[in-house]
Structure 1
Amino acid sequence: MADQIIHALYLAAIVAEAMTAALAAGRREMDWIGVILLGCVTALGGGSARDVLLDHHPLSWVEHPSYLLLTGAAALATIPIARFMHSLRRLFLFLDAVGLVVFTVIGCGVAIGMNMPLIIVIASGMITGCVGGVLRDILCADVPLLFRSELYATVSVATGLLYIAGRHFGFNHGLSAVLAMSIGLALRLLALRFGWSMPKFVYHEDWH
């Protein structure tokens, strides 16, 4: 049951990621192929990077080609409704937060299934949760959200640690995942609501 819920949330999240990426492509005046590619890369890039780095095959979209069709179609469908998307901003911020914690738990689960050490499990979760957005921002020539002060990667790490702690203390996969995702989601939403952030490093060449 838990796996079915996680899978449903995963599908909703990759659709949302593809649609927000399509808007980013529109701001950069990309053609329709660029919109589709950016949508697919953003939605599926984190999992692909994880699988390549961990030598975990087949990649998710190779095993499930429907993911490519779903994300590509979602990105393309954004074009005719883009003018109305601003009214759904809160919804997409929420879905992005859901995607972050769901992707993180899935990434941690893959590494655990490969008997990886703790630090690799955490890294696997963070890569799955964050790298898609990094690739989107790089392709759009923006500073990736991951490298700004906003609580994003921190939420991913916290979610991964909570999931691993649940497994360590004997909770089953489903309960561990639900608890970790719930707390991680709450943390991300609170950070958005109250502007919580990590300390910034500021350096100027004229400092002596």
Structure 2
Amino acid sequence: MVELSFFNILDLLGTSAFAISGALAAMNRRLDLFGIFIIAFVTAIGGGTIRDILIDNTPVTWMENTVYIYLIGVVTIITIIFRTQLDRLKKSLFLFDSIGLGIFTITGVELGIQNDLNPIICITLGAMTGTFGGVIRDILCNEIPVIFRKEIYATASIMGGLAFILLHELYFNQDVIYIITSLTVIIIRLMAVKFKISLPSFYLSEERNPNLDL
């Protein structure tokens, strides 16, 4: 069972948000029922699994607490049932993805701090936890992952991680840190899309054939 602390409640909310975004992405790609569940599952647990392996927190969270598996299953079924209503919300995939990113950034940074890791590593863990599930989702859906495109994604997570570390060093209340961090990530994502802010991209002037000699 999962202890219902504020931290774990946030973790469950982040898992739900990413499961919804994964299920929506799978349905947008017209995958079958099995495919929808697989994409929802890997989106929800992918980043956390990699994080847990890196910090040697094994068995990983979802293997130790099967409530995550049940939660992902129930949330995916609900998403399928209400897919028409969710589809009317044109920004629903983006919204749930942003919520999951904000919350999972918190869990990654917090676990890094609990393991007495360097602040830079904590921020990195936060970004990995928040983004790698989406990377796996996009790869399986045959899309270039959002993290590798111009869209502000990992950058928002990193900024949220920086806010977390700063507030932690200033001895803010832990729950306040969680709320401010998640809002920082979500607001940066929303503002970046609203005002079309993006990182610069670089490309060759001519498309080259990789099979040709340079």
CA distance in 1, matches of 2:207, 2:37: 44
RMSD between superposed Cα atoms in Å: 2.2
- Counterpart of 1:146 in structure 2 is 147
Q: Rate the CA distance shift 1:96–1:28 in 2: closer, same or farther, 3 A.
A: closer
Q: For the Cα contact (< 8 Å) 1:9–1:99, is it kept in 2?
A: no
CA distance in 2, matches of 1:30, 1:179: 36
Q: Rate the CA distance shift 1:52–1:171 in 2: closer, same or farther, 3 A.
A: same
Local SS of the residue matching 2:82: helix
Q: For the Cα contact (< 8 Å) 1:13–1:96, is it kept in 2?
A: no
> What does 1:44-59 correspond to in 2, within 5 Å?
44-59=45-60
- Paired residue type of 2:115: M
CA distance in 1, matches of 2:46, 2:55: 14
- Deviation, 1:206, is 5.5
- Paired residue type of 2:150: S
CA distance in 1, matches of 2:29, 2:162: 36
* 1:106 has 2:101 as partner: no
Greater percentage in helix: 1
- Counterpart of 2:166 in structure 1 is 165
Q: For the Cα contact (< 8 Å) 1:12–1:95, is it kept in 2?
A: no
TM-score (norm 2): 0.86
Instruction: Could you tell me which runs of 5 or more consecutive residues in structure 2 were left unpaired when the two chains were aligned.
Output: 209-214
TM-score (norm 1): 0.88
* Identical-residue share of aligned pairs (%): 35
- Counterpart of 1:35 in structure 2 is 36
CA distance in 2, matches of 1:152, 1:12: 19
Local SS of the residue matching 1:198: coil
> What does 1:1-208 correspond to in 2, within 5 Å?
4-205=5-206
Instruction: Could you tell me which runs of 5 or more consecutive residues in structure 1 were left unpaired when the two chains were aligned.
Output: none
Q: For the Cα contact (< 8 Å) 2:164–2:177, is it kept in 1?
A: yes
CA distance in 1, matches of 2:17, 2:103: 13
- Counterpart of 2:212 in structure 1 is none
Q: For the Cα contact (< 8 Å) 1:32–1:76, is it kept in 2?
A: no
Q: Rate the CA distance shift 1:92–1:26 in 2: closer, same or farther, 3 A.
A: closer
